[in-house]
Every structure is written in structure tokens, then in C-alpha cells.
Amino acid sequence: MPEKINHIHIMLTICLFLISGCSSYNSEEIRQKHAENYPLQLAQKTREILDGNEPLNLDDCIRISMDNSLAIKENEIKQRLALLEKKVSFANFLPAVSLNYDKKWFDPQPMIQFGSTGIPMQDKDVREITWNIQLSIFNPATWCMYALHTHGYEISKLVTEYTRQSIALQITAQYFQCLSLEKMLIVTESQLNAAKAVQRELKALGVEGIANDWKVEQANSLVLTRQTELQRTKNSHKQAKAELMANMGLNPLEDVSLETQLNLEVPEGSLEDLITEALLNHPSMSISDREAAVEKEKIRAAVTAFIPNLYGYAARIDTSDSHQVFTNYWLGGISAAITLFDGLANVNYYKAAKELRQASLLRRDQAAITLMIQVIRASDQVQTAKDLVELTEQIEKTSAIHLAEIKKQYEQGLIQTSDMLMMTAEAQNAEVQSLQARFQYQTCIAMLNNVMGHTKTKFEDSNNDTK
């Protein structure tokens, strides 16, 4: 009896401990600690990953994002969970073994009436140990469920790769956006310097009474305009870098220098060949195939509802009760079950599974059509960007020739300094526009590679430690 009281006391203590643990949650304290610690941890992580390995080129940025992107890490966790679910499903093919331990105390001891006295039925203290073994001898639903989880695991792997390619494309677009804004800063600063030179000349002429007051004010407005444009470009450049760092899984407050890399090449082949490549290699199509296979397995699972299930079981029982003739013995048997009638639920479930299968095939066809349109659009964008590169290069060439003539006139004293600065700024603008066109061309190539499922996410060679 005292031993029973001790067990009850232990159980009450555990319950009180669990209840007190649940009530001790302090949301404000947890939020405060996270808000204080996470930025510091992220900054430390960023310094360790970069570790002076700058400037970063496009391959560096994609490589870092593949290792540190939070979206990729989340999908990797889902992939591991899908693998665990597959393993759990496989366990249904194996025998299930359980051990039960039963300890009983009787007060008073169980007895039956026999004349004027009683005869004990059991010992006052009884211990019973039971081993249970159960195995599904024939259960078709087990095979269907395992197939479903197998397809689920394959889908999770495809989704992870799809996410990797999507992140790589985002990194590529943001990388070239940062470079483009960085070059634009040079032009905007040059235009601001030219506007300030015009402002100084007009102010000097205004003092002498040669220039009208409205021209001086117009020059002031031009300087303010250029200053506003410069500040807006700086803000856009800072935001673009912050977004790039965030998608790389790094601290968005950390500054990083970028190295220009222009090595993406246009995929070869006709438009029909590109579409075929996309349909064969894009992860979304493989995901659609797996989803259609899942719906097919659901049809098979619906069919198994009409088939009997057969189980075998065995139990080994051992007892300390001295009133038993056999203190241990085996118990075995076979169990079979089949649903004869459930209000036609199984029949309707089977019909619904067939309809869902057809819907999955239609979704796959729709995904194929969407992908074909994306390839056509991306291919046209590549050609348009290529034409823009040729145009901007011609404008850059023309501006360079014009600037050379202006420099000669300036050396001869035929034009003023402000005009010289304005023409220099225009030539720089033409040069930057040409470079931005090449950046856009590279981005369009990356988009075409992405819709074809050829986005590069793995790198072997490296010049930096981060690679």
C-alpha cells in the first residue's frame, strides 16, 4: 500500500511540474531576447561567411545563397520530413512488437465464497508481462500508402531544386540591378557636378548683369534636381544591396562590393527545341508528373477498400499469479476484415479519386502550356535585349566621337567649362546605358535558362574561400 501511495505522489508531482512549465512562458521576454540577439548573430554570421573575400561576382552570390538562404533551408527541412514519413510508412510492412507490464495490488485479496470460508482467486500481488506481435499479412492499402509517401518524398526533392533555381534567378536579377545602380551613381554625380558648374557661371554673369535672374534660379533648380536624383539613386542602390544580402541569407545592413561578371550565354537551338528542353527539364513539369502519380495511387487506395485485410497476431503472457495452472503461455490467431456495405462511401470515394486523377492531368497540361508561353516570352525578351545592346553601343560610340570633338574645342577655348562638363556627363550616360543594356541582356538570358530548367545552382571551381 505505501508503494502505491508513492506512485501516486510521483504522478502528481510530474503533473504539477508540467502545468507550471506551461504557465511560465513569457512572450515579451522571448521577443526581447530574439530582437536583441538575432541581429548580432546574423552580423557575426555574415562576417564569417564573407571574411574579406570581396568583391563578389555572380557565382559567389549564388553559391552563398545556396548555402544560407532561409527559403532553401526551410524546403530542405520539408524534404527531410518527407523522407521520415516515407520511412514511417515502410514500417507498416514490418511486425509491430509491444511489451505490456501490469502490476496489481488487491486489498483485500480477491476470494470466492466456499461454505463458511473463502477460497482465494488470485494472489494479493500479481504481476503480468505480455509480449504482443502483430503483422499485416495482406493489406493492399499499405502498399498504396508507401507509394504515396515515396512520391511525396520525390516531390519534396523537386520542390527544393525548384526553390534553388528560383533563388538563383532572384540573386542574378538583384546582382545586375546593384551593378546597374552603381554605374548610374557615377553618371548622376557627374551630372550634378556639371549642373553646379553651370550654376557658378550663371551666378557670376548675374552679378555682372549679363544673365537674367530667372536663368540663375533655373540653374539652382537644376542643381536641386540633380541632387534629388543622386539621393534617390543612392537609396535605390542601398535597398537593392540589402535585398541581395537578405536573399543570400546574410545581414542586409552589411555593405558588400560586387565584381562585374558577364558570362551567361544564350541557349542554342530553335524555339521548338527550347520549348522541348523546357518541358523535359523544368522542375515544375516533373512535379506535375509526380502529382498525377499520387492521384493514380489514390485510385488504387480506393480499390483496396473493397479487398479484405488479413492480420496475424501472437502474444506471450507471463504471470506471477500462483493460482494459475500455467504461469506463461502463447496466444495466437488470424484476423480478417472486409467492408460489406458502408452506405456506398467507398464507391463514391473511388469515383472521386478518378475525377481527381483527371484534374491532375489537366493541371499538368496547363502547366505545360504556361511553360511554353514563358519560353516564348523569355526568348523574345532575350532578342529585344540583344537589339538594345547593339543600339546603346552605337549611341555610346557616337557620344565618344562627339566628346572627342568637344574636348578639342575646349582646348582651343571655343566652349565654356560648363558645356564641357555637360557633354562629358552625356557621354558617361551613354556609356552607362550601354553597360546597363548588357546587364539587362544577361538577366534575360538567366530568365530563359530558368524557364528551361537550366539555372546553375552548383559550382565546382572557386577562387574565393566562400565558393
Complete domains list, the chain, with CATH = 29-451 (1.20.1600.10)
- pLDDT tens over the chain, length 467 residues: 445 555 566 667 776 666 655 557 788 889 999 999 999 999 999 999 998 778 999 999 999 999 999 999 999 999 999 999 999 999 888 888 999 999 988 888 888 888 778 888 888 898 999 999 988 888 888 888 899 999 999 999 999 999 999 999 999 999 999 999 999 998 888 888 888 887 887 788 777 777 677 777 888 888 898 899 999 999 999 999 999 999 999 999 998 999 999 999 999 999 999 999 999 999 999 999 999 999 999 999 899 888 888 889 899 999 998 888 888 989 999 988 888 888 888 899 899 999 999 999 999 999 999 999 999 999 999 999 999 999 999 999 998 888 888 888 877 777 777 777 778 888 888 888 999 999 999 999 999 999 999 999 887 654 444 33
Amino acid letter, 298: K
Q: How far apart are CA 352 and CA 140, in angstroms?
A: 19
Are the C-beta atoms of 391 and 436 separated by less than 8 Å? no
